[in-house]
Structure 1
Amino acid sequence: MWFDGQAEEAANHYVSIFKDSKLGRIVRYNEAGPGPVGEVLTVEFEVNGQKFVGLNGGPQFTFNEAISFQIFCADQDEVDYYWSKLSDGGAEVACGWLRDKYGVSWQVVPDGLIDMISDPDPDKAKRSTEAMMSMVKFDVAALRRAYAGE
């Protein structure tokens, strides 16, 4: 993950949010450069068992919505937790997507949503999809009501 000087800060942020997460090796610039001696070049971290490397590569490349990470949530409490933690300082987008304060895109998805919008019953799938498309942060109860036709 390419950052502009915030790789260690971002890694600490993500590790503080997700269970089963930890920081790994931090590589700092030495006398060979190209950055200032002692500043972070890369930081390894693990989030929910998935390994990442944050690189302080500079401003040339930025995150965009072409890549996002999905977080499947058991219930509304989990949706609310991840939404609150990850959108803080970032931006709420649409259909469960948000951008965090580092520009990384996330989709916070309740378990079962994919089954609802792909249900073989076209009416259930349509109602679920319409409900989903009308939301920014997902409301699990409203999605279930739409799916049930209530």
Structure 2
Amino acid sequence: MPEGTIPHLDEIVRLAAPGEPFVVSLVGRSMHPALREGDQLVVDPPGGRPRLGDVIVFPYAGRMLAHRVIGCGADGILAAGDASTGQRERVRFERVVGVVRAARRNGRPLWRPSSRMRALFLRLRLAVVYRMRMGRPA
């Protein structure tokens, strides 16, 4: 199974009540360490535009991915797995299947999105980008 995918998500979305949250299991390691293979993701249908730091679910290259929003523009989103070293996906707003509201590991709550968590994520991401650019020749 490809990294960071959610098996059978298209079928789950089709069977879910319109506008209602649904739960899926994550496969792969692209969201490690925040999310791990087997974690249960509670996904809300899109209700407005995702924000920086949100984890979104979207179709990409014939599979469904759960990746974090690292940039937003007028025409869409830039998303990447937390464990990604360079791969980014451009996603049009209308292609977003949902936003991860919460996660559970072994039946226990793992995390819920919050502005504090988003701020921490963004600071960490900026520090990594800064270090990567400083290490490159001009």
- Structure number with higher strand proportion: 2
TM-score (norm 1): 0.29
- Structure number with higher helix proportion: 1
Q: Which has the larger radius of gyration?
A: 1
Greater relative CO, 1 or 2 (CA 8 Å, sep 6+): 2
